[in-house]
Each structure stands twice: as C-alpha cells, then as structure tokens.
Amino acid sequence: MKKILSEKALVKEAALWDSLKKAAQQNPGKCRK
Amino acid sequence: MAITEAHEFFIQWHITERCNLRCTHCYQDGAKTDEFSLPEAMDVIGEVYDLIDSWSETYGIEFFPSFNITGGEPFLRHDIFDILEEIAGKGFDIYLLTNGILINQEKAQRLADIGIKGVQVSIEGPEDIHDSIRGKGSFKASMRGVKNLLDSGLTVTLNTTLSDINAAGFMDMIEIASSKGAQKLGFSRLVPSGRGAGLLSHMLGTERVKDLYGHIFSAKTDGITIVTGDPVASQMRSSPNGDAGDIACGGCAAGVSGLTILSDGTITPCRRLPITIGNIRTDSLREVWSCSDVLNSLRDRKKYKGKCGTCNRWAHCRGCRAIAYAYSQSKGENDFLAEDPQCFIIGNES
C-alpha cells in the first residue's frame, strides 16, 4: 500500500530539518550519537 | 543549502523476537510473534531507502544511513542473508547485534563478503558472570562465534550491559577482549524493562556509575577501543562551553537520529524505550518521524523534567530516555521526559 505524506507532515518535516541544520551550524565540528 | 555536517540516521530493526537464550536482563519480553515475511521485509527496506532519498533530495542533507540488525537472535531467521544483501544493495552501512552462538565459519565469511561494518556480541563479563546472566555454556558458545567473525576479518565489539550483577567484572573485559582479538569493547547501562523489569534493584547507583566510568576511561586498554552509546558517559569526555542550546545535536538518538522497528512492525523511538509511535505495516515512517507527539516531545527542551530539564548540556546529551522512563514507571509514572536517575554530571555547574 502506497503511503502518502500529508500536508501537515510536510510542514512539520521542513521545520524539523531546518532546526537540525541550524544545530549543525551552531556546533561546527560536531549530529550523531 | 547543504547541511554543514552529515547527519547520521539509523534504523534499528529487530527482525525477529525469537531467541536461543533467556537472558535475565533482556529489555524484550519475547511476546511478539507476527514477523515480517521476506517480501514484507523487502518493502520495509524500500521504504527506508525512499525516506532517506526524499529527505536528502528535498532538504539538501548528506546522510550516513545505516541499519542495526538484531533480534531476538537475528540468525534464527533463515532468510537473514537475503535481508542483509538487500540492505547492502541499497547502499546502507550494516551493523549486527547478536549473541554470536549461531555464527559458524561459513556464516562469518558470508557476512564479510556482504561488507558488514561491525558485529556487536553481548558478553556480560568473565565466564561465570556471563553464564549466570545468559545461561550455562553461553560464554564459550558466544566466543566461538566471535572467533569465526574475527577470522573472517570482521570488526567485533564485545558489549556489556552494566548492573550491580556484573559491574565489578567489567574491567576484566579489557583483558578478555584483548586476548580474543576483539577490536572494541562497549558498555551500556541496564534498562529495567521487558524481562529485565524485575532487576530495578540491580541498577547501579549514581556514585557507582561515576566511579566505574572514571575507571573505564582512565584504564590502559591494550589497543582496545572503548565505545558506548550512553550519552552520560560521552559527556564525561566533553567540555561544555556555556549552554549548548535548544536544538538536539548528538546525545540520545531518540527523536534525533534513529528509529526502531520491532519484529511485528511496531515503531518505537529507541530499542529500549517501549512506547509505540506507529506500525510500519500501516503508517508512513516519514509521517511518524515528523508528526509523532512522542518524538516531537523528545526534541523539545521545555518539556524535560528535573536535572535534564535544567542542564546546559541538554542539546548534546538529554540522558538515557529509556532509563528515565523505566525508572519513572517504577514510581508509578510513565514519564519518558523525566530526569536520567543515574546522571552524575550537573550541567549547570560546568
């Protein structure tokens, strides 16, 4: 069954990866456990 | 704009819950029987591949994607090599977590041929301690598997789950790992959940954890690399420079850099944090990742309690959420955002 991503999920996903990008930029040289 | 650092993303996949051992501390209860068929397993691999591909293309992010394949005992699935070959063919790094008992020379060589990046074999201490936890004769049986893996040129991590049952024997593990030729020695803390829920009283006290970790990180290791996924242990080797901020980067992987899929398709934030956030048979992994209330809470500093909530290392640590949750359950709560009860690092004084 094909799983379609909802519009709500796309908005949340974009915000999430935007914040994770910022974290990487604020922690140069450091995103893994 | 590409992310400035590559982002690790892993799927820990319990391809079966069947096991040939009955370890006293296991965080699983062995109750799940509705395993994926091989065609279903191939669909899961395809969905994860599409997930990473979509993120990478949409957001310009470079990933280090990987699968941790485990069980139960993963080698009880007769089609494990079909699954591993499919994952490798999609370009994922693969790590295996096993008790090693079923790994003969032929299987070890097949793993090497597939390009498995590392194999973690659970060893709980010297033979008498290990066998008291995992069953009589299991130490020797696991070590036969370790030898086969090493003879095939694979990288092996011996990993110990620390409690007051085996903490005193952990320093002996350095010599054991060295004598067997293992490249790495790992440790994690006991999470009193699943079959291990009855071992709450065997959790190490805060001072004991601090003392033991101090010994581990100052020990002569004979060339053995010490590894751990314990965010608190990692903070011992880190010097903070003020507050690390409100966006998680490093530390506990739950909600940040990985997901767990159980043998019946249940999705959880972490292999040891038994909170259902979906099922891959019916839910979109991509939608779960961005919309799960549990995952979004794990990413929200304001929701954390106790010393984890006020710690200036929050972005790089967050403690072990699984231990926080299991410990809170013992007090009649179900709080995965509670403080890590074994943390000895007071971030606000650093």
Question: Looking at residue B30, what is its pLDDT?
Answer: 60
Q: What is the tens place of the pLDDT at every residue in A7-25?
A: 879 898 999 998 887 787 6
Are the Cβ atoms of B286 and A22 closer than 8 angstroms? no
Burial of B85 (0-12, 13-18, 19+ CB in 10 A): middle
Question: Looking at residue B350, what is its pLDDT?
Answer: 43
Closest chain B residue to A21 measured between Cα atoms?
Answer: B3
pLDDT beneath 70: ranges in chain B: 1-5, 19-33, 195, 241, 346-350
Stretch 6-25 of chain A: residues touching chain B, C-beta under 8 Å: 6, 8-10, 12-14, 16-25
Q: For residue B335, give both structure tokens.
A: 């709080």
Contacts of B229 in chain A (CB under 8 A): 33
DSSP for B93-121? EEEEEE--TT--HHHHHHHHHHT--EEEE
Are the Cβ atoms of B59 and A17 closer than 8 angstroms? yes
Question: Looking at residue B273, what is its pLDDT?
Answer: 94
Contacts of B258 in chain A (CB under 8 A): 33
Burial of B310 (0-12, 13-18, 19+ CB in 10 A): middle
Question: Looking at residue B4, what is its pLDDT?
Answer: 47
Question: Looking at residue A2, what is its pLDDT?
Answer: 45
Please state, in angstroms and as integers, the Cα–Cα distance from residue B261 to each residue in B50, B56, B172, B203, B272, following that order.
16, 21, 34, 26, 11
Question: Looking at residue B96, what is its pLDDT?
Answer: 92
Closest chain B residue to A15 measured between Cα atoms?
Answer: B290
Question: Looking at residue A28, what is its pLDDT?
Answer: 54
Residue B245 has its nearest CB partner, among A12, A20, A26, at A26
d(CA B122, CA B332): 31
d(CA B247, CA A22): 8
d(CA B232, CA B78): 38
